[in-house]
Structure 1
Amino acid sequence: MKSLYFLISLLLTSLIFSYTNLAHANNKHALDKQINEIVIKHKIPSIAYAIIEPGKPQYIKVIGNANQKQALQATTSTQYRIGSVSKLFVGIAALQLIEQNKLSFDDTLKTLLPDLEYHNPWADSHPIKLIHLLENTAGWREISLSEFAYSNNPPMSLEQVLAVNPDSRTSRWPAGTRHAYTNTASTVVALIIEKVTGVAFESYVEEHILKPLAMENTTYEGFESEALATGYRKHKPVDYKHILMKPAGAISSTITDMAKLLTLFIKKDSTILSNDMLSRMGFSHSTNVGKFDAGYGITNSARFYKGVKYRGHDGSLPGWMTEFVYSPKFNAGFVLLQNSDNARAIREIGFAISKSLEKYTDTNAHKPSPIPAALMEQSGYYQYINPRFQNRYFLERLSAFNKLHITPDGASFKQVFPPGWQRSLTLNGESDWQNSHGNVVMKQGVDPIEGLVFHYGDRVFKPVSALNACADKLILFIWLILLLGMCFYSIIWPIQVKRKKLTNQFAISLRKNVSSAALSSLLFLVLLGLGLAEPIARLGTLSIFSIGILFSSLMMLVTSALTLRCLYLVKSKLTHKTFFIFSMIFISLQSIIVIYLAWHGAIGLRTWA
């Protein structure tokens, strides 16, 4: 009888196991079909993805071609460029040395690299430390477009690389107060690792990270590999780009190797780094709001999918995109490798996979804290004050304002312009704000320069007036309408002169000046728009676009000044004042625009510098 019970139990267990595997296979088949439809819709050459979920075998799949022209199918051995996901290796290497007491989070940059050129106006009170470099809180701006465009072939030493543009290493605010992502920080950390270990950074990574993890097809020299796929930008193949700051983004890898790295972070395998250090990568702790799970950690950022928080990093190069996402809490994650820089495609695929993992995520309601009346007084407009690209802030500022509305039931935080982005928040504790999944995404802090601020993810917001938040959009809108009208009228009035319907020389002179101001502004906007469509290629080098932006911005300044002078000279000599009034309004608004551009360094802007 016991034998019969045993056989029945064994049979039932086998049936349940088989059913579970069949259901898992069916789910993956449906997901593969959905991803394949996205690939076809966006005409993506190929996508390689690895998925890890609790109690299931690791799942790896590759769809599409490594090379479209040759119809060469991508496989699990195909290498993809992973871009900024390479920074994870910088963080791991630094933490290994910290565990060995060869480095410390509190080591100052001045001590570690005394010969490195950088500028920190707050050096006495806020010296730059290793932790600030690892978490991108040194206050440095992002590297210039010319550095992005730089071809590092043959490769230079890290000292030579960092000598290309030392001006980018100027702290814009006290270290340890605000985050600002930059490729320079990881490259400086790589140089520190070289100085401490006495070996080249890439050699250190190979010996102490890649070999122990058996990542045999991962390299910084992907251009030498026949296994490297071809990258595509707007469906056209791109040449291999020898990036300047290799530690920050030069790795090429396969989906099989990246799945091994994913396993390390999800399972917290202590093969190369302790569990504590792997956990430490997953939150920020170097700003004045303390530990922040939604902040940029040690070369590691928060990744949110429908409000569910993961950790990881993304990567992008012309022709390539990568998404590396993991959650030790849910024991799940995924990697996407794409030989196309179609952001919409990889985002849709990421959401499709994250949806398949929803059953493992915590969706329970989280009890909010009561909101005191004093906290509701913080409702108002806020502006983010930690731009990554300082020389683009004259554009970003238009979308830099959010509105915070706090009620007894919770808060909404939404973008003013363009409208659409909005998050609902509830209070967690005294001043922390959480999303619907209980993840703290916004913390209150005190900035040494601005005072009260909110840290939302990796952005820092200061309170501003409603006028400050809305006036620039209103001025810009009215100016653009008048600009288009003046440009159109610049075609009309010469015809009127030719037909002798316009004979007053003062009126003609005014129209010439206004048309010059309007057309120079239009030229600036057109060149800027075309340049930003391909910023590295068109603005990172001397080109018709970059030179055109320089001269057209100067023309805006000169023609606006000349038109103001002309308005003053002819105001009493015109019989009809209608055009004069419109011209006065237009040129007054344009003068505000010019002053704004000059304030942000955009007049005479050398985008290639």
Structure 2
Amino acid sequence: MNPPSVLTADLRGRQVRRRALAVLLFILLGLGLALGDTVEPAGHVLDESALMHATTASPPLEVAAPPTLEQLQARIAAVLKREGVPGVGLALVDRDGVQWAGGVGLADRDLGVPVGPDTQFRVASITKSFVALGVMRLVEQDRLDLDQPLRERMPDIALTNDWDASSPITLAHALEHTAGFDEMRFNEYWSPDDGPAPRDALAINPHSRVARWRPGSRASYSNPGYTLAGHAIELATGESYESFLEREVLRPLGMPTARFRRTREYADRLATGYHGIERAATFQPIYHAPAGALLASPRELGQLVHFWLRRGDLGGPAIVGPESLARIERTGTLAYLGTDTNYGLGNYGDVLHASRGRGHDGGLPGFLSSYRYFPELGVGYVMLLNSTHSLPAYLEIRALLFAYLTGGRAVPPPPPPLAPDPKAIAALTGYYGYANPRVQLFGFLERAMIGISVRPDPAGVDLEMLTGGRVQMVPTGDGGFRHWREGGTSIRLTRGDDDRKILFGGLAYFEEGSYAWARARLLALAAANFLTQLAPLWALGWALWAAFRRLRGRAIASGEFALHAWPAAAGLTWVALPLLFMHMARAEAYTTANPLSVGLCLGTLVFAACSAAAVAEVVRAGVARTVPLSVRLVPSAAALASFGMTLYLMFHGIIGVRLWAW
């Protein structure tokens, strides 16, 4: 999940933690590149990565500060009702401790159980914050080294890195998502039990741990990196990472019931998660448990926020020292200057409020979590939702919490913009293409859809998205820019280690490229999609006209039926595949070979076969000349479009894709 950044203002549709599945849905919907809409699958999850991309689909949200706690609760309840979210666990924190912890709404709709301060939630990727604290505790004890090559620390774990001689993958790379790894593969998602040991999880599919670019050259969110960290903890301590973290981090922080596995002792405290307004999510343990398995309550996570606000002051738990805290908040593996949304060690920046904050988000089916602390203000909050379908609820409740915490106080304004440097800005203008896909299998579509043109503006720069939409940014120095309502630098224009111009913010990374090529590719894909979907409707019209002609005694020409039928079959398959996909997503059946996932694989092959047959009929009709050109024109164009799409998808490994074995 990239930290919030305005450079992703046009990515509102990509709100799913399983960005790979969302991208596949885009493909199956006919590469709806020009349409700008997504179809939300039943398994839709707003997770940490999706939130980092999607939270700036509009400028930072401003709300009036609720004057009392009761009014804050009432306004949050109104948001939950409007958005169809069952409940939310909350904690309000300052440097003196957790000032209030509780909830609004229901932890379980069927049972009518309200959310309380000790209701446990799946906090998902917030788990990474505790793994990072545990790692730094061992670093301080000289039992782990952030910069030691992982091949030396764990030679039995498969890691593929073509740059190993000059840029070996280290523990710091894994924790900062800069190792170049792909995201976890589909067969690494759900565990049949409460999760194997990290070593066993890492043995499932080594393909997710292949460096796609030189480690340290850019970031891309990858959960397996934290499973490597969990394994490193176990190698250093000789015990499970869970036992170590519970004893050395969770309990000292004041989190007595937080666990990495479900237990009968606290089963009645666990909230029920919901996919949407009604449907409950099934609790499925995850293989990469160190990346997101923690169960915790809002009161307990409030202790983590308090720890960060106190920053190691005497009287609190001495988990790690000040230098380690500073290292956790810093990206240390990239060669270029970062932004205020940088990802450190299980901790990243947020500039969507009036003051710069830090923390982490998390998302699993049915659960959406967030914590933030604001060092300049000495306050922070916890927000735990038991539904993943509403980005507006996430944004508005966060805004209400911040407004309440800072109401009646002097909130530091965003840093004043610097005067633009026309010469420096002119040197960095141009087109930048997306260059760090989270899931490599579907990265080709992201590269086709996501790009930013940078142009000079009287106030700074103007960013125009490839698929439409623009935003103005003001300079903050050293190539940094922000939206005028953001609390800090959210993007930076600079040069990478190969001296190529780059644009990045948080974990989103763009490289200079050709706008003409990017636009032509986008338009070609949109046209192919339109023609492919047009074919069935055109064939229906032709069939009605042919029937009318037959009634008048005029037979159709030889080959005319096949010329229309095969493009129509390809188009119908193209339209039908998303329905199959949505059933697969609803059943979360993409992790194994089953009728739905196998059917999806076969469906892509059927589309390819129909497209090839359609082109063969076009060639035959053209040679035979039995069908008039005016009749051949549209089905021929549709056939060539679907066949071109087949070649495009085949080149990128989508035709015949076996998600369960990838």
Indicate whether the TM-score tops 0.5.
yes
Amino acid of the residue matched to residue 407 of structure 1?
D
Question: Match for 1:570 among 595, 598, 621?
Answer: 621
Asked whether 1:608 is paired with 2:660, we answer: yes
**Mapped contact 1:283–1:292 kept (Cα < 8 A):** no
Amino acid at match of 2:559: F
What residue identity is the alignment partner of 1:566?
Answer: E
Deviations 1:19-51 (A, max 9, x none): xxxxx9943222221101112222322211112
2:593 is aligned with what amino acid? L
Do the aligned residues in 2 keep the contact of 1:220 with 1:250 (CA within 8 Å)?
A: yes
1:360–1:470 Cα change, 3 Å: farther
Q: 1:295 to 1:113 in 2, by over 3 A?
A: same
Q: Choose 324-333 or 302-311, whichever is displaced more.
A: 302-311
Instruction: Report SS of the residue matched to 2:559.
Output: helix
Mapping of residues 152-551 of structure 1, within 5 Å: 152-153=192-193, 155-224=195-264, 225-226=266-267, 227-234=269-276, 235-269=278-312, 271-306=318-353, 308-344=355-391, 345-357=393-405, 359-373=409-423, 375-417=425-467, 419-420=468-469, 422-436=470-484, 437=486, 439-447=488-496, 451-497=500-546, 500=550, 501-528=554-581, 531=584, 534=586, 537-551=588-602
Match of 2:644 in 1: 592
How far apart, in 2, do the equivalents of 1:446 and 1:223 lie?
A: 50
Preserved CA contact (<8 Å) 1:378 1:406: no
The alpha carbon displacement at 1:528 in A equals 4.1
TM-score by length of 2: 0.82
User: What's the counterpart of residue 583 of structure 1?
Assistant: 635
Amino acid at match of 2:221: Y
The alignment covers a number of residue pairs equal to 581
Cα distance in structure 1, aligned partners of 2:503 and 2:555: 58
Q: Which moved more, 1:61-70 or 1:82-91?
A: 61-70
Q: What SS is found at the alignment partner of 2:588?
A: helix
Q: Give the 3 Å change call, closer, same or farther, for CA 557–400 of structure 1 in structure 2.
A: same
Give the distance between the partners of 1:133 and 1:366, measured in 2 at CA. 35
Distance in 2, Cα, partners of 1:238 & 1:409 = 47
- Distance across 2 between alignment mates of 1:293 and 1:283: 10
Q: Is the 8 A contact 2:102 2:115 kept in 1?
A: no
For residues 41-75 of structure 1, the C-alpha deviation after alignment (integer angstroms, 9 at most, x for no partner) is 22322211112257897232312222222222222
Written as runs of structure 1 = structure 2, the 5 A alignment for 1:65-144 is: 65-144=106-185
**What's the offset of the Cα at 1:603?**
1.3
Summarize the Cα distance change of 1:38–1:453 in structure 2 as closer, same or farther, 3 Å threshold.
same
Secondary structure of the 1:286 match is: coil
Amino acid paired to 1:516:
A
Alignment pair present for 1:44 and 2:93: no
Deviations 1:521-568, CA, capped at 9 Å, x for gaps:
22334434655x54x704233344422321222223222222222222
Q: 2:606 aligns with which of 527, 541, 555?
A: 555
TM-score by length of 1: 0.89
SS in 1 for 2:518: helix
Matching residue's letter, 2:152: T
Asked if the contact 1:399–1:415 (Cα under 8 Å) also holds between the matched residues in 2, the reply is: no
Question: Quick one: structure 1 residues 102 and 292, their matched pair in 2 at CA, closer, same or farther if it must change by over 3 Å?
Answer: farther
* Secondary structure, counterpart of 1:412 in structure 2: strand
Go from structure 1 to structure 2 and tell me whether the alpha carbon gap of 1:317 and 1:223 turns closer, same or farther (over 3 Å shift): farther
Cα-to-partner distance string for 1:98-149 (whole Å, 9 max, x where unaligned): 112222221111111111112111111211011101101000011122322x
Shift of 1:520: 2.7
- Cα separation, partners in 2 of 1:337 and 1:134, compared to 1, 3 Å: same
8 A contact 1:217–1:253 mirrored in 2: yes
**Greater shift in the superposed pair: 544-553 or 47-56:** 47-56
Kindly state the Cα deviation for residue 193 of structure 1 after the two structures are TM-superposed. 0.8
Alpha-carbon distance change, 589 to 502 in structure 1, aligned in 2, over 3 angstroms: same
Q: What one-letter code is carried by the residue in structure 1 that aligns with 2:295?
A: S
Structure-1 separation of matches of 2:121 and 2:413: 34
Identity %: 25
Quote the Cα distance in structure 1 between the aligned partners of 2:656 and 2:179. 28
Change over 3 Å in CA distance of 1:496–1:538 after alignment to 2: farther
* Worse overlay, 576-585 or 48-57: 48-57
Aligned to 1:37, the other structure's residue is in SS state helix
Pick which of 520-529 and 263-272 moved more.
520-529
Higher alpha-carbon Rg:
1
1:257 is displaced (CA, Å) by 0.8
Determine if contact 1:281/1:300 at 8 Å carries over to the other structure. Answer: yes
CA root-mean-square deviation = 2.5
| Distance in 1, Cα, partners of 2:80 & 2:186 | 30
Instruction: Please give the alpha-carbon distance, in whole angstroms, between the structure 1 residues aligned to 2:164 and 2:69.
Output: 54
- Structure 2: distance between partners of 1:400 and 1:273: 40
* 2:490 match: secondary structure: strand
- 1:413 and 1:453 map into 2 onto residues whose CA distance is 14
Change (3 A) 1:502 1:274: farther
Shift of 1:449: 6.4
Mean Cα deviation higher: 98-107 or 586-595: 586-595
1:438 shift after superposition: 6.2
1:586, CA displacement in angstroms?
A: 2.3
Residue segments in structure 1 that go unaligned for 5+ positions in a row: 1-23
AA paired with 2:619? Answer: Y
Q: Distance in 2 between matches of 1:401 and 1:564?
A: 33
- C-alpha deviation, 1:514, in angstroms: 2.1
Measured at CA, do residues 363 and 480 of structure 1 come closer, stay the same or move farther in structure 2, by a change above 3 Å?
A: same
> 1:110 & 1:289 partners in 2: Cα distance?
25
Provide the C-alpha distance between the structure 1 equivalents of 2:97 and 2:138, rounded to a whole number of angstroms. Answer: 34
Q: 1:105–1:129: 8 Å Cα contact kept in structure 2?
A: yes
How far the C-alpha of 1:435 sits from its partner, in A, is 4.1
